[in-house]
Amino acid sequence: MFGGTGVMNGSDVIRDVMQQSQQIILDQLGDLVKKGLLVVHSDGPMLAREIDPSSDSYKFKLVGSVRLELKDQGYIQKLEQENKEMRELLEQMQALVGK
């Protein structure tokens, strides 16, 4: 609940839903990185100067970039399927031997 009143206003609900969605996305990205399906490439940070021609002033800011690259997803799915089939075959063989 927000504000101590026990009632959530519309912006609180939206913020809460957005935070939950963000966490779900981060968790899923983390899982993809752990499985080797996703590689994160990061450049930076670099110091950049931005000039405002109308006021003849400038400001500095840190900039960087992040690029996500999907790796070997089809091959990994194929291996997972082969592993599943192999486990099923082993279970069938164990069942036959155990009888």
Q: Is the pLDDT of residue 28 over 60?
A: yes
Residues 27 and 41 in one domain: no
The answer to whether the CB of 65 falls within 8 A of the CB of 97 is no
Residues 73 and 91 in one domain: yes
Cα–Cα distance, 51 to 57 (Å, whole number): 6
The answer to whether the CB of 47 falls within 8 A of the CB of 62 is yes
More confidently predicted of 69 and 23? 23
pLDDT of amino acid 35: 87
The answer to whether the CB of 63 falls within 8 A of the CB of 44 is yes
Q: What domain range is 87 assigned to?
A: 35-98
pLDDT in tens, 29-83: 999 889 888 888 888 788 888 887 787 788 888 888 888 888 887 787 888 999 9
More confidently predicted of 85 and 65? 85
Q: Following DSSP, what letter does each residue of 9-54 receive, concatenated? A: -HHHHHHHHHHHHHHHHHHHHHHHHHTTSEEEEEEEEEEEEEEETT
The answer to whether the CB of 61 falls within 8 A of the CB of 44 is no
Residues 47 and 81 in one domain: yes
Domain count within the chain: 2
Residues 13 and 49 in one domain: no
Residues 28 and 44 in one domain: no
